[in-house]
């Protein structure tokens, strides 16, 4: 069953003021500039288009000159690869001179500038990414991308094994695009080539692997695709651990962020975080989320029941959003078993805006006559332990009782 394409999408792209201004600026006798790649694919699928890419027969220096003559800012963001960013009042637009491959080694390509749109399309990765649109509204498809879009099929241009040898990252891109766009079974030739070349993943920079894999985890079809990665041995090359596919499914169903989906899939205990940090070059913020998830996992798996007070204490220590997301990932497992009040409180605290905050500081104890020193820390620790056990009360009477407890614990 084929899906219908948005025939008005390409025209809407051409009508965007920034696109109009850039195409007009680059118009020159004997030269041609077209909309290409992902923006064309997304426009035909009726999806929002955020990034605009143009391909042109003009050399990079000529692109800059034409843009400046038209009063547009031109930034040589990748001039060595032929890419200039034209900054319009509405949006930045990347303009790349047509290229052709001279040499490839699986990680990097040596290219030279060309003037043939069909040849430029043939060097791209997938047919659905090789469509182009002329300034006159003519849609160009030299590799069968339109048929593949209609069929919901992701297919390499030419021989899959050859395209993967040119750049091994295309293995991950194939699975990511399949998870995002496909409505059919994976292309057999592509899947076989990816499996055969799976060892090549280990030669890729971990930053590139991280970027592709986190994008894949956010795609609509991430669960069946990650399942496929697992059974074919490719997931081991990416994450290096055992997959929790059920937890990933619950995380995806809840619409969670990419790092939580990664945690659900790959984190079983605290020792998993260093492996993932290194294998995927995670940021400090991402690593902290995995640490917190592992800590919550250990705490929650140690409890049969979970009540409202428990949820509030966990939100205070780990944050309401992390607590709520972890509970959603563990939903249906034998431990823990949250009661209705706990689930309601978790939902209330899920956005992190109402996390319980311990109501005392060292200054409160100093005001009561306690001299600065180690005794203050001792008193606050005792009061906080009681506060957590009570479910983090926020009323003034509880605060006064906690202050008395802190002073009692701090004094000899």
pLDDT digits 0-9 by tens, 339-390: 999 999 999 999 999 999 999 999 999 999 999 999 999 999 999 999 999 9
Distance CA 74, CA 64 (A): 5
pLDDT digits 0-9 by tens, 251-304: 999 999 999 999 999 999 999 999 999 999 999 999 999 999 999 999 999 899
pLDDT digits 0-9 by tens, 394-407: 999 999 999 999 99
HSE, CB side, 13 Å, CA atoms: give it for residue 26: 34
Angle at 90 between CA 27 and CA 71, to 5 degrees: 45
Question: φ, ψ for residue 88 (rounded to 5)?
Answer: -100, 165
- Whether 218 and 245 have beta carbons less than 8 Å apart is answered as no
Domain boundaries in the chain? 1-151, 302-349, 362-410
Distance CA 200, CA 169 (A): 9
> Helix, strand, or coil here: 395?
coil
Q: Which CATH number fits domain 1-151: 3.30.460.10, 3.30.450.40, 1.10.3720.10, 3.30.110.60?
A: 3.30.460.10
* Residues listed for the chain: 412
pLDDT score for 264? 98
Mean of the pLDDT values across residues 10-19? Answer: 97
- Give the CA-trace dihedral at 290, 294, 295, 299, to 10 degrees: 150
pLDDT score for 1? 63
Residue 111 has pLDDT above 80, yes or no: no
Buried-state track 131-152, b at ≥16 Cβ within 10 A, e below 16: bbbbbeeebbbbbebeebbebb
Distance CA 132, CA 10 (A): 10
Distance CA 29, CA 205 (A): 42
Distance CA 29, CA 157 (A): 31
More confident residue, 251 or 241: 251
Beta bridge partners of 101: 111
pLDDT score for 65? 97
Mean of the pLDDT values across residues 138-145? Answer: 97
- Distances in Å between the Cα of 381 and the Cα atoms of 109, 319, 355, 410 are 59, 19, 19, 9
pLDDT score for 364? 96
Q: Return mean pLDDT, the chain.
A: 95
Handedness of CA 226, 243, 333, 282 (dihedral sign): negative
Helices (H) and strands (E) in the chain, counts: 22, 11
- Give kind and range of the element (H or E) at residue 139: strand 139-140
Angle at 365 between CA 363 and CA 369, to 5 degrees: 110
Residue 39 has pLDDT above 80, yes or no: yes
pLDDT score for 106? 46
**Single pTM value for the model:** 0.91
Question: φ, ψ for residue 32 (rounded to 5)?
Answer: -145, 145
Q: How many CB atoms lie within 10 A of CB 67?
A: 24
Distance CA 205, CA 210 (A): 9
pLDDT digits 0-9 by tens, 165-203: 999 999 999 999 999 999 999 999 999 999 999 999 999
Residues of the chain with pLDDT > 70, as a percent, come to 97
pLDDT score for 113? 86
> Helix, strand, or coil here: 270?
coil
- Whether 320 and 349 have beta carbons less than 8 Å apart is answered as yes
Question: Biggest alpha carbon distance in the chain?
Answer: 91
- Whether 406 and 383 have beta carbons less than 8 Å apart is answered as yes
């Amino acid at each position: 069953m084929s899906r219908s394409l948005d025939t008005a999408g390409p025209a809407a792209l051409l009508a965007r003021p920034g696109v109009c201004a850039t195409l007009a600026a680059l118009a020159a006798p004997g030269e041609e500039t077209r909309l290409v790649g992902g923006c064309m694919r997304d426009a035909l699928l009726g999806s929002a288009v955020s990034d605009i890419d143009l391909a042109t027969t003009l050399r990079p220096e000529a692109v800059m000159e034409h843009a400046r003559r038209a009063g547009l800012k031109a930034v040589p963001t990748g001039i060595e690869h032929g890419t200039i960013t034209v900054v319009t009042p509405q949006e930045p637009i990347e303009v790349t001179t047509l290229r052709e491959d001279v040499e490839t080694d699986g990680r990097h390509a040596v290219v030279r500038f060309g003037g043939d749109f069909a040849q430029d399309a043939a060097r791209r990765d997938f047919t659905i990414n090789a469509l182009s649109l002329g300034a006159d509204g003519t849609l160009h498809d030299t590799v069968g991308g339109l048929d593949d879009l209609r069929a919901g099929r992701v297919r390499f241009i030419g021989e899959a094994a050859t395209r993967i040898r040119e750049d091994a990252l295309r293995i991950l891109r194939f699975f990511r695009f399949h998870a995002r766009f496909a409505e059919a079974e994976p292309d057999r030739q592509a899947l076989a080539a990816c499996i055969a070349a799976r060892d090549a993943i280990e030669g890729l920079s971990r930053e590139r692997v991280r970027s592709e894999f986190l994008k894949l985890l956010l795609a609509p079809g991430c669960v069946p695709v990650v399942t496929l990665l697992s059974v074919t041995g490719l997931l081991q090359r990416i994450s290096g651990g055992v997959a929790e596919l059920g937890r990933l499914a619950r995380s995806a169903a809840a619409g969670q962020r990419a790092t939580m989906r990664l945690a659900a899939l790959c984190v079983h205990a605290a020792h998993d975080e260093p492996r993932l940090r290194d294998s995927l070059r995670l940021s400090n913020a991402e690593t902290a989320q995995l640490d917190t998830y592992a800590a919550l996992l250990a705490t929650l798996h140690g409890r049969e029941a979970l009540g409202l007070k428990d949820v509030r204490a966990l939100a205070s220590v780990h944050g309401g959003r992390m607590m709520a997301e972890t509970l959603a990932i563990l939903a249906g497992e034998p431990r823990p078993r949250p009661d209705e009040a706990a689930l309601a409180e978790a939902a209330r605290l899920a956005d992190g805006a109402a996390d319980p905050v311990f109501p005392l500081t060292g200054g409160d104890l100093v005001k009561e006559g306690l001299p600065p020193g180690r005794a203050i820390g001792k008193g606050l620790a005792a009061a906080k332990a009681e506060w957590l056990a009570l479910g983090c009360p926020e009323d003034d009477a509880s605060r006064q009782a906690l202050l008395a407890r802190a002073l009692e614990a701090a004094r000899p």
